[in-house]
Structure 1
Amino acid sequence: MSIALVTRRVFLAVDGKLRIKNAIFRSRLISAPRRSIVDMSYSTHFMDFKGSSIPSSMRKLVVTKLSPNFREAVSLQTVPVPTPGDGDLLIRNRFVGINASDINFSAGRYDPSVKPPFDAGFEGIGEVVALGLSASANHTVGEVVAYMGDGAFAEYTVVPAKKTVPVPSAKPEFLTLMLSGATAYISLKKLGALSEGEKVFVTAAAGGTGQFAVQFAKRAKCHVIGTCSSDEKAGFLKSIGCDRPINYKTEDIQEVLRKEYPKGLDVVYESIGGEMFDLAVNRMATKGRLIVIGFISGYQTATGIKPVRTGTLPAKLLQKSASVLGFFLPHYLSEYKAAMKHMLEMCEKGELVCEVDLGEMTPEGKFFGLESVFRAVDYLYLGKNIGKIVVEIPHPVSSKL
């Protein structure tokens, strides 16, 4: 009687690394010297690098219905822990980032061809607990990485190794750079063309990406004006170099710009849209550049857009030789690696403030666990945050990081 040979995906624990490969077995497992083999076709979990069992199931947020109402569109589900492919890393998420565009994603606006269900969340940071065989050439189990990619709102996420960035530790401050920091850094560098002494206007300046736009513009020796919604935020903006915070709850933005900056704004970093976009266009200087990185005022509407008065926009741009430029980070990934390298170096030297808002000051307390992602998204749209909103993902496995 012949014995059939079958191919199964397995984890190999070799010299402290968990690797995945296809292996050929006979009718039962074979233990090779100095290797332990876990056959994933029979076992629903495996041991992580600290000797603790990774559970067979996990929780994640899944978009089950297209809607700009995040709570209506997304559900918390229990699913099997995924298995990384040959070039992938399995990451145990420690922190995940909240973005205004999470709602655009749940509404199906980024890729209308993708239908529910699909995973939610854009960015995370955590430790590698398993990896594919080819991924082990440049990564190790236990390494801490940050990443940008779909499916971050989960306890464990499989990410292609090439899309991850090694970071010194699992601190939420490093997570702020992945989308928010990179958006500000690359957009101002490539589209802003900042020059010393220019007037740079940043909307939502105390938010996740605005905080970086303020700092990068100031490092370019520009005069920075930033909008915010409270005196506390105005104080934060001053602490990171903003020359003129404008609390729009107590001051009229248009009046401040008209009186204090009669020659106009050289560069506008705009994320609000609607009336704010109209105001910024009207206050642009000759040869001014307005960079659109978002339009959050309309994200929760059915269309995702709040109307602007653009009927005379061509004439206004022509009269000032001004320009309006759109920026979407996925279109500038060729600049991403260099940007991250520079920002991480700045962080290590203490040259960059990466403000994180973990929700500790909210009535319900810290954003802790995937269920709090819903509350964190609501918090962002209330405009209460200072810095980047981040949710901590707890695990029963203790960590020494």
Structure 2
Amino acid sequence: MNKANIMSKFNAMSLQAKGSVLVFVAGILLVLTGFAVAAIDVGRVFIVRNEMQNVADAAALAGANCLDRQSLAGSTTECTSATSTTLNWDRASAKATDELGRNTADNRAISTTDSGHQIDVGYWNLLTKSPSGGTLSKTFTPLTNDDKPAVRVTITKDVGKNNGPITMLTRWMFGGSDVPMTAKAVAVISSPGSVVPGALIPVAINQCMFDQYWDSVKGQPVLFKSGDVDPYGLSKLGQPWEVRIGSSYHYPSCESGQWTSFQQNANDVPTVRDLIANGNPTALNITDNTWIQPGTKDSLYNSLSSQYPTPPGADVTVVVVNQPSGWSTNTQTPIVGFAGFHIDDIQGGSGKYIQGHFIQGAISSGSSGVGPYYGTYTPPRLAQ
């Protein structure tokens, strides 16, 4: 073989090798590009999923915040800070819907007009983490302490829903389909099983008082009706009973209250006066003991009046204890609940009473857990 033939074959082999390398490099680039595009798609799916979940969470919490609030006059979506005498289901739903429309996912606004959103209200069971009675319904009658008012928000990105589904770059390269996505959130308002320091005034109420003036089935105060006899002549037709809470030395056991020093045994006026000003010094839970102190301590009514001038009075939270056979003072007794009470008047001197009515929907900031409902709620929280 002459030199010319050898060089010709070498050049042909070189060109073939170069062509193989180019094909190999092109294949590698295609694979790497596929991995990069897939990584972009996966990252985008996670980002959009988190965005949608955040939107659902925010809408559910916003709606739940209105469950126990009055509707703002002149608005179709807002609620006020004032408590409502009944659960405000319609305004909670409207507020959740409005909150959806204020947010975006995948750089696009969440629609409040297409079928990509659903707002449901009703009772949610915290123990089973499912709708009470099987279906989220506002007409459900709570059976246990775990059945709580709730707002459920569902948002979906799919064909014709919230500009969905999520477009995949890999579909353009390798085929396949775009990705639909759904996010759900449930927010509840719950009656507290524990309260933070400073949440309570140092007054304990006997549980049997609630048997008379609290409707546990409806979860609201008993209303004064025609034919009822009010010994004080203060209650108004269709409104919660106006009651007076005074020392068991002056009032029947089930219509009385005693000063409590919580978890410190201190039967003196200065200590209780400090508790009036600052509330419970430590966190308290249901089943914790609280000290029931003896005596009327007349001057403390004036101290309480200075703290909560009337009018207008104030919404407060008190501990509930169960002493069915009458008050046992200078002793400890377990806490069975935390109750909401509105103070309308306070009298020392010859009166020695705290006058007011039980309320529905008082919020105890910082409280948590689950307990029997006596008109006090924890701030809205996510249950799912």
**Fold conserved (TM > 0.5)?**
no
User: TM-score, normalized by length of structure 1?
Assistant: 0.24
User: TM-score, normalized by length of structure 2?
Assistant: 0.25
The structure number with the bigger radius of gyration is 2
Higher relative contact order at CA 8 Å, sep ≥6: structure 1 or structure 2?
A: 2
